[in-house]
Every structure is written in structure tokens, then in C-alpha cells.
Structure 1
Amino acid sequence: MKIKMLAIGLICAVSVVGCARDAAVASKNLSYAADNFELDRRIVFYNGITGEYILTIEGKCSFDAVSERKVDVTCKTSGSEYKKHSLGISDNVTYFSEQLTSKGVSAYHYKVAFKPQSIIPDIDLKVQ
């Protein structure tokens, strides 16, 4: 009887770990899609003292918490145009990101994209 209970407990634990892994892969794939400008996001900077929104950025945006005090937000504005915003975070200012559109992503497979333009650098040559 104890062996059966142990086996059932082990199966339950493995299934919970499997679900957590699926969620982690899906979350990583959603982040990947957003960082490649495939999803619409709303990023809001909020003043915790006044209760007001300081800034709202919406669109196909990627954000990077560069440090505890700085956040960079890069948004795709058209086919090959981008805008970058750098924002400082203080003790009373925080931010959150909301995904505005859904995206079908796999919970089992990662997506990898190679971009030759990022592997082969664009060299500017200045001759005097």
C-alpha cells in the first residue's frame, strides 16, 4: 500500500513539474515574440505616491530592465523604423507591461531566429 501511495505521489509531483515547465517555455516564447516586435504591449510607468500614470507606451515594443534604476523601451513604428525610450526608475516610480494581443506559442518547442545582419557587423569607414 505504501509503495502505491509513493508511486501516486511521484506521478503527481512529476505532472506538476511538467506543467510548470510548459508554462515556463510558453512564457519564454511569448517574451521572444514580443522582443521581436510580433506582439502589442502597453508599458505603463506609475507613481506610487500620487497614484497617477507618468507615461504610457503602446505598440510593438520590447523593454529591457537595464538596471534597478533604468528601463529601455524600443518600439517598432513601421517596417524598418524604431524608437527607443530610456526611463529612470525612482523609489516611488514603478512600471508594468501588459500584453495587449494574444499569440499562439508552443509550450514544447523553442523558436530560434538567426539574423545575418546581427552576426556580420555594419562597418562605417571614415577616411581622413
Structure 2
Amino acid sequence: MKKKGFVLMMCLFLVGNAAFLSACETEAQRVSYNLSQEADNFNVVRQLTVINCLEGDTLFQMTGKMSIKADTNDNQLEIIVENEDGSYKKHFVGLSDNVTYVVEDLDVNHIEKYKYTLNYNPKMWIPFEVETID
């Protein structure tokens, strides 16, 4: 009988601890996790803006349903988009001390799941001339 009482008490203790530990998670943490999962499953329209902090210029923007991961080891963003045929494309954005980015979740219903846009700032391209040898 003592053994059954001990087992029952241990079960109640474990259930109580599980309830206590799960209560430590805030609502904001749950919402943040859920939003990240939705974005990683290509269900959220996002806009990525990459900014040159020295000049204050936007280098480019990318808009669509995408998963974005900051790779701090390689100092870059890894962006994955899903194509209509089920294939995926991966884009990399190199970051530096003077380049930063902003990611916004947009509430847009008219974006197609398999379309994304990538807009470059034309002022950021370095012009060059091609010389031909006669």
C-alpha cells in the first residue's frame, strides 16, 4: 500500500512540475514561436529590406512567402522560397558591419504562394565600360 501511495505522489509531483514549467512560457513566447513556424512553412508574406548604413541607402528589397534564417557563423542571411513545382531556391545575403536588414511580416492576401519579387536599387550598381580589342 505504501508503494502505491509513493507512486501516486510521484506522478502528482511530475504532473505538477510539468504544469509549472509550461506556465513559465509567456504568451509572447508562444506567439513568437507560432509566427516563426508559419513563416518557415511559407504561409506568411514577408518583406526583407537590406540597408547600407553608411550611405543610408536601400540595397534591395525582397517580398514574398519565404523562410529567413540569420546564419551568424557565416555572417549572412539564408532565404528559402518555394517554387510552384515544389522545388526550392535558396538566396544568400552577406552582412557586414555597415549592412543591416529589416524583415516585416505583411498582412497581404493577394500575393501568390509561389511568386516573390526581388528589387535592387539601381544606384548601388557600379557602372563599367567594356573595352573591345580590334
CA distance in 2, matches of 1:77, 1:98: 21
- Quick one: structure 1 residues 37 and 79, their matched pair in 2 at CA, closer, same or farther if it must change by over 3 Å? farther
2:88 equivalent among 66, 82, 86:
82
Structure 2 SS opposite 1:90: coil
2:54 equivalent among 36, 49, 53:
49
CA distance in 2, matches of 1:77, 1:52: 30
1:82, distance to aligned residue in structure 2 (A): 2.4
CA distance in 1, matches of 2:107, 2:41: 14
**Contact 1:59/1:76 (<8 A) preserved:** no
The answer to whether structure 1 residue 22 and structure 2 residue 27 are counterparts is: yes
The answer to whether structure 1 residue 96 and structure 2 residue 115 are counterparts is: no
RMSD over aligned Cα atoms: 2.1
CA distance in 2, matches of 1:53, 1:75: 21
1:101, distance to aligned residue in structure 2 (A): 2.0
Give the structure-1-normalised TM-score.
0.60
The answer to whether structure 1 residue 34 and structure 2 residue 39 are counterparts is: yes
Structure 2 SS opposite 1:26: helix
Unaligned runs of 5+ in 2: 1-22, 109-134
Structure 2 SS opposite 1:78: coil
- Quick one: structure 1 residues 93 and 21, their matched pair in 2 at CA, closer, same or farther if it must change by over 3 Å? same
Post-superposition Cα deviations, 1:10-42, rounded to whole Å, max 9, x if no partner, equal xxxxxxxx7x70111011100100001011000
Does 53-62 or 76-85 show the bigger shift?
A: 76-85
Give the structure-2-normalised TM-score.
0.57
CA distance in 2, matches of 1:80, 1:21: 36
Structure 1 SS opposite 2:96: coil
CA distance in 1, matches of 2:50, 2:87: 24
Q: Based on CA coordinates, which of the two structures has the bigger radius of gyration?
A: 2
